[in-house]
Amino acid sequence: MSHGRGGLLVGLLGSGLLLCATAAATSGLDLQEFDAFRRLWSDMAVGIDGFLDGRRPLPPEVEPVYTGADGLDADQAYRRLVVKGTRNHAIRPWQFWRTLPDRPFLKTRIEPVPKHYDDHGRGRLLGLGFRLLRGIAPFLVVWLGALCCAPVLAWAAWELTRAGYPVAAGALAALLGLSCYWVETLALTRYAVGFYLIGLLLVVPLAAYSVLAPACSVRGLAARALLAGAGFALASTCRSSVGLVLPGLLLAVTLGAVRLQAARPRKVVLLLALTATLLLPFPAMRRAQQSDIWQPLWEGLGDFDREKGYAWSDAEALLAVRAGGGRKLWTPGSESILREAVLRDVRTDPAWYATILARRLVAVVLQTKLWPWAPRDGRSTSTSTSANEGVLDKYYGYTATADHFGLGSARLELPISLLLPPLPLLVFRAAAPRRLGWSEAGRTRARAALRVVACVAAGAIVLPVLVTTAGGQETQAFALVYLLSAALLLDVAR
pLDDT averaged over the chain?
A: 90
**Are the CB atoms for 165 and 485 separated by under 8 Å?**
no
- Reference 145, options 242, 36, 288, 32; nearest CA is 242
Amino acid identity of residue 384, one-letter, is S
The pLDDT tens digits of the residues spanning 124-170 come to 999 999 999 999 999 999 999 999 999 999 999 999 999 999 999 99
**Are the CB atoms for 418 and 215 separated by under 8 Å?**
no
Residue extents of the structural domains in the chain = 3-21+143-290+398-493, 30-138, 292-347
The pLDDT tens digits of the residues spanning 94-131 come to 999 999 998 888 887 787 877 777 888 999 999 999 99
- Reference 221, options 211, 233, 209; nearest CA is 209
- Reference 31, options 73, 90, 74, 105; nearest CA is 90
For residue 406, what are the β-bridge partners?
Answer: 411
Q: Write down the pLDDT at residue 44.
A: 93
Q: How far apart are CA 146 and CA 177, in angstroms?
A: 10
Residue 345, pLDDT > 70, answer: yes
Q: How far apart are CA 408 and CA 187, in angstroms?
A: 13
The pLDDT tens digits of the residues spanning 31-56 come to 888 887 888 999 999 999 999 987 65
- Reference 40, options 304, 356, 398, 344; nearest CA is 398
Give the mean model confidence (pLDDT) for residues 290-304: 90
Residue 288, pLDDT > 70, answer: no
Q: Is the peptide bond before 375 cis (omega within 30 degrees of 0)?
A: no
Alpha helices in 309-421 (DSSP H): 314-323, 332-348, 350-366, 374-377, 392-396, 416-419
146's enclosing H/E stretch is helix 140-162
Residue 63, pLDDT > 50, answer: no
Amino acid identity of residue 245, one-letter, is V
Q: How far apart are CA 322 and CA 88, in angstroms?
A: 46
Q: Tell me which of 167-181, 246-260, 315-329, 436-450 is least confident.
A: 436-450
Q: How far apart are CA 183 and CA 28, in angstroms?
A: 15
Q: How far apart are CA 258 and CA 60, in angstroms?
A: 63
Q: Bin 309: left if φ > 0, else alpha if -120 < ψ < 50, else beta.
A: left
Amino acid identity of residue 326, one-letter, is G
Q: Write down the pLDDT at residue 449.
A: 96
**Are the CB atoms for 424 and 441 separated by under 8 Å?**
no
